A and B are shown apart, each in its own frame.
Chain A
Amino acid sequence: MALFRSVSFAVAALALAWGCSRTEAADEQDATAVKPSELNLYTARHYDSDLALYEQFTQETGIVINRIEGSADQLVARIRAEGAGSPADVFIAADAGALRRAQDAGVFQPVSSAELEARIPSALREPSGLWFGLTRRARIVAYDSSKVRPEEIDDYADLASSRFAGKLCVRSSDSVYNLSLVGALIEALGTEEARAWTRGVVANMARPPQGGDRDQIRAVGAGECEVALTNSYYYLRMRTGEDEADREVTEKVALAFPSLGGQGAHVNISGGGVVATAPNRENAVRFLEFLASQNAQAHTASFNSEFPVSDDTPWPEGIAPYRSFVAHPMPVHTFAGRQSEALTLMTEAGWK
């Protein structure tokens, strides 16, 4: 019977699947008789440029990286479920709020590393060393340069003003980047003013929230709206990217860095920390130090257009024109804990 013939096939497939899962690590293992040093990475980042960085780390240190990519919250749930036996050494997320939730779930252990403390400004890391910002991304405004003058959007408050009634594109309140931005507004301006802002934004929406950041920029390009909220690197990657239509859009659309209460633009981080139960703690710290190095920051700035965290890092050509932007000095860990409040405000205001 076909059913039974396929038994052997299925078993073989299972064996194959198992084989695949260990190819990368195993190749290295077979080559050297001694079991090499390992690092188990749980990351919510999903950028191709990171893979090259991991390879570079392995080349420099001989430490093999095993990785699982996934959404930040599922990775946290997994680490917790794995308990004391969790293989996770380093957890990385692409949003301060996600790092904070991981912190609240007890995922991290404090790390004190002179190198990390020297290279990463204190506003961009958790005060007790639970997690560290490794790249920066500004959440700013893309505007139609034929209809909007940059001085019309020098403050986030402008987005909620009647000037942009029916002219604003934003993505949904599901976006962690929006949640972190509103969290920062609550932190800087207080709940009431932030509430008024979310209402003003909802009133100004040109269409119901939809799409990703690139879609907001494209909508500005298509004339659907005049201003849109976006993370800096999406615009920068469109400008230098492989899609011709996207490159054309960025000729019509420009970036403005509005200020939050006159102190600078809202900056979020991508970062990580060492997991509380890390079996390879030393390697984990070494990996974070590697990611904070000038070399690694420059790599991510070049290939993913994220802004470096350290002042000494050169800004590659693609992002160099924005080097002088003013970032709000607010420590990231302060707004990181406010996403839940932010979601409440946004939901109440009708921000879908």
Chain B
Amino acid sequence: MEVNRPQAAGWSGRERSLPFLKWIAWTAGITAAAPLLGVLLVAFGGSGADWRGAGDYALSSLVLAVSVASVIAPIGTITAWLVVRYRFPGRSVFSWALALPLAVPVFALAHAYADLLDVAGPVRSGLRASFGWSLPFEIRSMPGAVVVLSSAFYPYVFLSMKAAFRQQSGVTLEAAQSLGAGPRLALMRVAWPLAWPALAAGVALGVMETLADYGAVYFLSVQTLTTAVVRAWSVEGSVSAAAQFALPLLALAVSLMWFERLMRAGRRFTASAGWRPMPVLNLSPLQAVLATFFCGLVLSVSLIVPVGWLLIKALGVEPDVGRLLRAGVTSLSLGVSGSFLTVVLAVCLAIGARGRPLLLRLSSVGYAAPGAVIAIGLLAPVSLIWRLGQGEVQIVLSLILLLYAYCARLMGAAVEPIDAGLDRISPSIMQASASLGRDDARTAWSVQLPLARGACLASMLIVFVDIMKELPATLMLRPFNFDTLAVISSHYALDERLGQAAWPSLLILVLSVPAVIWLSSGGASSHLKRRTSS
């Protein structure tokens, strides 16, 4: 593998981009950023919000984000390193199963844990009855929220680190070892720095999801800036105050993306002709058991225990099968069409915006914006569109708007992997294309796009899974008689009927599992690997 420090100007300097690509990128970027501009307009167009107590909200958002980051970074990295590098019992299962929590809506994890570990829940009641003693740990608290959100979001780190480790060449590690570095030193000095951009990307996704979350933190009684947004809206009845509370969230998102960019700056690594997979090492029996135990523990906390509890609660009630099936079809259709549209836009953006990181970052801010905030931003432009049509036209418009909201909200998740995929294409390939007389647009079409195909599919799957779980924008913008699984689950949860709420949540899991397994089994990244290594 060759390690290329990019030249100051880069190979795709502004002066060489065709207006066509530039035009497409700007269109896609503005499309994605439009709701955020709407938020700004609404925020500055209304009266001032009551900022008393907002400091506490901001602080708890910050504490939550930092805590989640410091939990998911090591857990995602260690599990990824273990399954890529070592042989231990269960490895082949863990290497895809550890990504599965991605398929569970975080609000469902919160429901399950809040119920399971509630003071009146089975665990603590049981302990009290048997030992007259109960857990000192309160699930509805900041630490509880960190556990739940980390369970939901560590797979972002796991997936991106696993792909990064897999793409690393065994040659590099061998070189390190031939220079006298032991396996641990090789990890610290070679594999780890090479995977650094992937870590930054994975953590950034997890933290942005954390900042945007409302459902889970609400359920776990942690009040963050999203609480302030919802409060301003639903108690004060002031949309502009709500939009103002969203501004710090957007600022946090922007700084996060700047930070991620910083991490990636000057570390462009591309695969070279000498690539071959890293050898898988054996562990001592004790180490192997420990590895299995660790992966098993992570999987139990993040998936098996909460989903098992949801299943038990679900089986205790009788579901409305017809309604669930209809909602399942709706969710699936929205997921497929929404993820497709989002990725098409993201590809335009990522290719067109090479060398223009600002545009790319701006269009990704929506990912850290709570869905309700995106909805606020969309309301201004949509009010125009809504007024256009009646009846069926309105239904179609609502659907288009909803898909558009998904695009705007999830562009960050889509664009990051694609951008990272494009980063891995060696400049020499681009130069070869240019020397054959292809302009940038044709190079994009015939070289970059095929090479980043794996990354496109990966981002499509991530967006698909996110849409399956998406709630606030769906609640706000959907047409009549149009329930998704997440919507049904939230209605039952609001009515405090956990068993009924568990059914749609479990169905979301079932429908998303194939996508997650495919993502996780490396199907997406192997294309890139094969292409660049051959």
Contacts and interface: CB of A to CB of B under 8 A. Distances in A.
Given A66-B481, A69-B491, A347-B53, A81 B383 contact: yes
B140 A105 contact: no
B43 interface: no
B296 interface: no
A324 interface: no
Query: Which among A9, A23, A46 has the greatest number of chain B C-beta atoms within 10 A?
Result: A46
A10 B336 contact: yes
Nearest to B450: A1
Given A1-B450, A340-B235, A343-B235, A17 B333 contact: yes
Contacts of B478: 21, 68
Interface in A175-216: 176, 179, 207-215
Query: Which among B119, B231, B398 has the greatest number of chain A C-beta atoms within 10 A?
Result: B119
Interface stretch (A83-91, A265-273, A309-317): A83-91
A221 B480 contact: no
Contacts of B390: 85, 87
A71 B234 contact: yes
Given A13-B332, A219-B119, A234-B496, A22 B140 contact: no
A292 B460 CA distance: 49
Given A3-B456, A17-B333, A69-B491, A74 B237 contact: no
A148 interface: no
Contacts of A72: 234
A297 interface: no
A227 to B, nearest CB: 15
A31 interface: no
A81 B386 contact: yes
A149 interface: no
Contacts of B399: 14, 17-18, 21
Q: How large is the interface on A (under 10, 10 to 19, 20 to 34, 35 or more residues)?
A: 35 or more
A195 to B, nearest CB: 16
Contact of A23 (B52, B450, B481, B500): B481
B469 interface: no
Contact of B496 (A21, A209, A212, A219): A212
A222 B117 CA distance: 12
A222 B119 contact: yes
Interface string B322-334: 0000100110111
Contact of A74 (B227, B235, B375, B392): B375
A174 B227 contact: yes
A242 B390 CA distance: 43
Contacts of A101: 237
Query: Which among B141, B480, B487, B494 has the greatest number of chain A C-beta atoms within 10 A?
Result: B480
Contacts of B143: none
A136 B410 CA distance: 41
B317 A20 contact: no
Contact of B379 (A11, A13, A81): A81
A10 B398 CA distance: 17
Provide the main secondary structure of the chain B interface: helix
B476 A74 contact: yes
A77 B239 contact: yes
Given A25-B481, A211-B114, A46 B491 contact: yes
Nearest to B235: A343
B481 A67 contact: yes
B453 A3 contact: yes
A81 B382 contact: yes
Given A13-B332, A74-B475, A218 B118 contact: yes
Nearest to A217: B120
A224 to B, nearest CB: 5
Nearest to A18: B399
A251 interface: no
A243 interface: yes
Given A18-B399, A24-B481, A10 B221 contact: no
B231 A47 contact: no
B499 A242 contact: yes
A298 interface: no
Contacts of A81: 379-380, 382-383, 386
A226 B524 CA distance: 56
Nearest to B138: A207
Nearest to A224: B119
A60 interface: no
Contact of B333 (A13, A67, A210): A13
Contacts of A74: 233, 372, 375, 472, 475-476
B180 interface: no
B341 A85 contact: no
Query: Which among A21, A176, A243 has the greatest number of chain B C-beta atoms within 10 A?
Result: A21
Contact of A25 (B120, B388, B480): B480
B333 A87 contact: no
A48 B324 CA distance: 13
B88 interface: no
A276 interface: no
A232 interface: no
B236 interface: yes
A104 interface: yes
A47 B496 CA distance: 10
Query: Which among A14, A66, A69 has the greatest number of chain B C-beta atoms within 10 A?
Result: A14
Interface string B388-423: 111010111011000100000000000000000000
Nearest to B334: A17
A34 interface: no
Contact of A85 (B334, B375, B386): B386
Nearest to B483: A69
B26 interface: no
A174 B218 contact: yes
Interface string A1-19: 1110011011101101110
A96 B115 CA distance: 29
B316 interface: yes
A68 B398 CA distance: 12
Interface in B330-347: 330, 332-334, 336-337, 340-341, 343
B479 interface: yes
B456 A211 contact: no
A208 B386 CA distance: 43
Interface string B473-514: 001111111110001000110111001100000000000000
A211 B140 contact: yes
A71 B239 CA distance: 14
Query: Which among A69, A81, A179, A211 has the greatest number of chain B C-beta atoms within 10 A?
Result: A81
B395 A6 contact: no
Interface string A297-340: 00000000000000000000000000000000000000000011
A105 B382 contact: no
Query: Which among B122, B450, B494 has the greatest number of chain A C-beta atoms within 10 A?
Result: B494
Nearest to A82: B386
A40 interface: yes
Given A70-B475, A77-B239, A224-B120, A20 B487 contact: no
B337 A22 contact: no
Nearest to A222: B120
Contacts of A11: 337
B340 A10 contact: yes
Given A17-B399, A20-B330, A172-B221, 4 more contacts: A3-B343, A3-B457, A78-B476, A209-B221
10 contacts: A1-B453, A14-B399, A17-B399, A23-B481, A77-B375, A85-B386, A172-B221, A208-B140, A208-B221, A352-B223
List of 4 A-B pairs having minimum Cβ-Cβ separation, nearest first = A218-B120, A10-B340, A17-B333, A66-B480
